[in-house]
Structure 1
Amino acid sequence: MGSNKPLPYGRYTPGSTIAADNAAHITGKTILTTGVSPSGTGALFVETLAAHSPALLILAGRSPSKLAATASKIASINASVKTRLLDLDLASLPSVRRAAAEMLSWTDVGRIDVLMNNAGIMAGPYRKSEDGVELQFAANHLGHFLLTNLLMPLLLASPSPCVVNISSDGHRLGGIRFSDPSFSNGSEYNQWVAYGQSKTANILFARALAAKLGGKGLRAYSVHPGVLMSTNLVAAGGLGERDFAELKKLDKSLGEPLGEDDAVFDFKNEDEMVATHVTAAFDPRLDEERWNGCYLEDGNVSEGVRACARGEGDEERLWKLSEELVGERFEY
């Protein structure tokens, strides 16, 4: 994808600054964002956009009360911005199908300009989705894979459709277990390796979308937003010192800097956390064909993709595995 980075942003650039720079590309857009519980990165993202008058913010998630709270916050920022709430449980394929069918039935919504696949869970004990798939892989990747493909008619109705998958530098922790994505029903489970697998999937899925649909005008990216300890991702997992000690041990075994004794997370504030969301979704300098499918962090194109997400042909292998697990083929 080349080594020249086209964007001027960096580690500490606020998302609000990038949004202001790209206000003309936000105004009038229809944006669907998953995982918008108050104080989470999805909510912070849509709240950042609200000041620049998108036409419609579609808020998708499992909790009606949390969706309503985020919609209320958007109204307090800019009362002219329309919102719609979409009931969606990404860990349930039937729920994803119902949500997609509902959206496709909305006669007043003719397109999706940006699909922000933001929702996710992190680590925790072994669990399966109702469809029998390891829960992190199901919620972080498989639900978004199905949702994105089912909504493709609305995306391709946009003059400049964009799909953004929120990944993580945590993809370093594990590649795709193509023959055993559910860890032998938990007998081989490691919470951080499973998290890594799901985040690697986010990267590969973006590349696959770019390869399959770039010719139809679709842009797709994956993003490492950074680390914000106060987000719901940590709180919902009930993670404690023992869990992060396990993470440090795994990083050390992989030769990663975060495995060193004196290593600490480089935290971002709330505004910085959504900077790369905004860059990926709206910065027109990414429209060059060479950047389609790329991975971004710190508001910029990044070369930080680890070997576990660079396997030759892995994006197509993941696509086929995902089709098998959702029980439906998507050919473009």
Structure 2
Amino acid sequence: MMASWTPADMADLTGKAAIVTGANSGIGLPTALELARHGARVVVAARNPGKGRAAVEEIRRAVPGAQVEFGELDLADLDSVRRFAAGVDRVDLLVNNAGVGMIPRRLTKDGFELQFGTNHLGHFALTGLLLPRLLAAPGARVVNVSSDAHRMGRLDFDDLGMERGYGKVSSYGRSKLANLLFTFELQRRARRAGADLTTAATHPGATATNFFNLGILRPLAGLFLRSAEAAAVSSLYAATSPDIHGGEFVGPKLNLMTPSAEARSEEVARRLWEVSTELTGVRFEEIAYH
């Protein structure tokens, strides 16, 4: 990994189409901005139309002539995911960045525990629905923003709704563990199918964004948390660097991280894939095991 790498080292992305989920704020906004700055046609995918369109205007002010548009996407609603995917004509780079964290137990529109349903199942469904367009784009990439917090997560397939014991931190960790398992299994399936698709995951590091409620600590955040711009670098590196070949877990210093033993388990990954397919109805037929 190139620790000295910066977004200025990115290649020209003219002709490439990128989608960044949760690009209206946090890490997603500078990720989308830099992709647009380097010539990509970028879709700011966000749940809130007002915030999403405001982010589009912010990017246009920073990058005059940027090819950027808003796309409404609520990852906690599979109908919204399907509507969004149906409107996509091309995608070369998919950055699954959006997420919720450290919240009281709630359910998605489809009845899934919200952190697992949004952070994993929503992105699983989105990626599967976009798979035909990804495979039609030479050298397409999928980047899943995970976290080192995955080490605090455990998957209980008999209680995916966490009805027998919900914890804000354990639920978040579980969703980030699922992000990694999905990343590695998607890469394995793509390789087995001979598909031209590269998938990587990132840990952006603790970041001063609106993701967590910092309360009275917000004025001190800059002392111990990274800026959103700095945290976005790992996503940009994973999305564009020629040194990424698939299956990497890129850390905040662009270092290759070693995931937990459970995150590396092919057996757990296969089971999660099967369960996710059943829950979402999205089957990834183009790279399915036969």
1:276 to 2:234 alignment: yes
Question: 1:65 Cα shift?
Answer: 1.0
Q: Which residue of 2 aligns with 1:52?
A: 38
Question: 1:301 Cα shift?
Answer: 4.3
1:33 to 2:20 alignment: yes
Greater relative contact order (Cα < 8 A, sep 6+) = 1
Number of corresponding residues: 279
Q: Secondary structure of 1:126's partner?
A: coil
**8 Å CA contact 2:36, 2:68 repeated in 1:** no
Q: Which residue of 2 aligns with 1:69?
A: 54
Distance 2:67 2:284 in 1: 31
Distance 2:71 2:263 in 1: 31
**8 Å CA contact 1:53, 1:78 repeated in 2:** no
Question: 1:298 Cα shift?
Answer: 2.3
* 5+ residue gaps, structure 1: 1-6, 104-108, 242-264
| Structural RMSD (CA) | 1.9
Q: Secondary structure of 1:307's partner?
A: coil
Q: Which residue of 2 aligns with 1:99?
A: 84
Distance 2:125 2:78 in 1: 8
Q: Which residue of 2 aligns with 1:259?
A: none
Question: 1:304 Cα shift?
Answer: 3.2
The one of 96, 99, 106 equivalent to 1:127 is 106
Distance 1:222 1:299 in 2: 14
Matches within 5 A, 1:198-209: 198-209=175-186
Q: Deviations over 1:261-310 (max 9, x none)?
A: xxxx95222332111011100001113xxxx1121112424233122312
Distance 1:90 1:217 in 2: 26
**Which residue type is aligned with residue 65 of structure 2?**
S
Q: Deviations over 1:112-141 (max 9, x none)?
A: 110000000001111111111100000000
Moved more, 69-78 or 144-153: 69-78
TM-score (norm 2): 0.90
**Which residue type is aligned with residue 232 of structure 2?**
V
**8 Å CA contact 1:177, 1:197 repeated in 2:** no
The one of 306, 317, 322 equivalent to 2:260 is 306
Q: Which residue of 1 aligns with 2:220?
A: none
Cα separation, partners in 2 of 1:239 and 1:141, compared to 1, 3 Å: farther
Distance 1:172 1:239 in 2: 26
Cα separation, partners in 2 of 1:82 and 1:194, compared to 1, 3 Å: same
**8 Å CA contact 1:174, 1:308 repeated in 2:** no
Question: 1:179 Cα shift?
Answer: 2.0
Distance 1:213 1:311 in 2: 17
Paired-residue identity, %: 38
Q: Which residue of 2 aligns with 1:42?
A: 28
Question: 1:312 Cα shift?
Answer: 3.8
TM-score (norm 1): 0.79
Q: Secondary structure of 1:286's partner?
A: coil
Question: 1:70 Cα shift?
Answer: 1.0
Matches within 5 A, 1:84-95: 84-95=69-80
Question: 1:8 Cα shift?
Answer: 1.6
The one of 223, 245, 249 equivalent to 1:295 is 249
Distance 1:218 1:147 in 2: 15
1:192 to 2:146 alignment: no
Q: Secondary structure of 1:50's partner?
A: helix
Distance 1:318 1:62 in 2: 26
- Segments ≥4 residues shifted beyond 3 Å: 238-241
Distance 2:165 2:279 in 1: 20
The one of 319, 327, 332 equivalent to 2:273 is 319
Q: Could you say which structure has the larger radius of gyration?
A: 1
Q: Which residue of 2 aligns with 1:252?
A: none
Q: Secondary structure of 1:233's partner?
A: coil
* 5+ residue gaps, structure 2: 218-222
Cα separation, partners in 2 of 1:327 and 1:50, compared to 1, 3 Å: closer
Q: Secondary structure of 1:324's partner?
A: helix
Q: Deviations over 1:5-50 (max 9, x none)?
A: xx221xxx5xxx52211233x3332100000123x11001112233
Question: 1:209 Cα shift?
Answer: 1.0
Q: Deviations over 1:131-184 (max 9, x none)?
A: 111000000000000010001111111111000000011111112222211112
